[in-house]
Homo-oligomer: A and B are copies of this chain.
């Protein structure tokens, strides 16, 4: 399998994969991303990276990832946010090849871990991930503040004063 890193010209393609994955996850109503937002946050602000799986030169799957950080290891890791292969190209090893490529990038960059999250009802994916040597972090739950709650919480910090100059 070949792969390539996405470039700025690929924003429409990236968005089409994001939408296809959201549809599979039954969450397509939550997608508010646009090509322009992806251009700004991935290619200008460089907050994520994307690789495509290729078959005969056609992009048949994608992986979007970014660097996270382990304080215990004292170094960055890689977090796989989205992984998707077009339905008609499944069963040919593209998903495994994308994850293996990310594992290779993780090692090459000196990072300590490759991580991602999976919906608990997605047993086929869970079985696949376990077969790759991944282990679930059973004892942890993720928490999120967004929307009005985020704005409200941010407002409660308004009276603080930053005394440092280095950032």
Chain A residues 126 to 160 lying within 8 A of chain B, measured CB to CB, are 129, 132-146, 149-158, 160
Q: A135: which of B136, B137, B143, B163 is its contact (CB, 8 Å)?
A: B143
Q: A146 and B72 in contact (CB under 8 A), knowing A1-B160, A152-B133?
A: no
Interface size class of A (residues with CB under 8 A): 35 or more
Most buried by B among A8, A108, A141: A141
Q: Is the interface of A mostly helix, strand, loop or mixed?
A: mixed
A114 within 8 A of B: yes
Instruction: Evaluate whether A72 and B114 lie within 8 angstroms (CB atoms) in the complex, with A103-B157, A140-B142, A142-B142 already known.
Output: no
State the CA gap A38–B8 with chains docked (Å): 32
Q: Is the CB of A143 within 8 A of B152?
A: no
Given known A114-B146, A117-B142, A144-B115, contact A73–B33 (CB-CB < 8 A): yes
Copies in the complex: 2
- Among residues of B, the one whose C-beta sits closest to the C-beta of A14 is B71
Q: Is A88 an interface residue (CB 8 A)?
A: no
With both chains docked as a complex, state the minimum distance between the C-beta of A103 and any C-beta of chain B, in angstroms: 4
Across the interface, do B133 and A149 meet the contact criterion of CB distance under 8 Å?
yes
Q: Which residue of B lies closest to A57 (CB)?
A: B163
Measured in the bound complex, the distance between the Cα atoms of B152 and A146 in whole Å is 38
Per the bound structure, the CA–CA distance linking A67 and B133 in Å amounts to 26
Q: Bound state CA distance, A111 and B63, in angstroms?
A: 21
Report the Cα distance A117→B140, complex, angstroms: 6
Which one of B7, B133, B160 lies within 8 Å of A164 (CB-CB)?
B7
- What distance in Å separates the Cβ of A155 from its nearest Cβ neighbour in chain B? 8
| A12 adjacent to chain B (CB < 8 Å) | no
Cα A82 to Cα B72 in complex, Å, equals 10
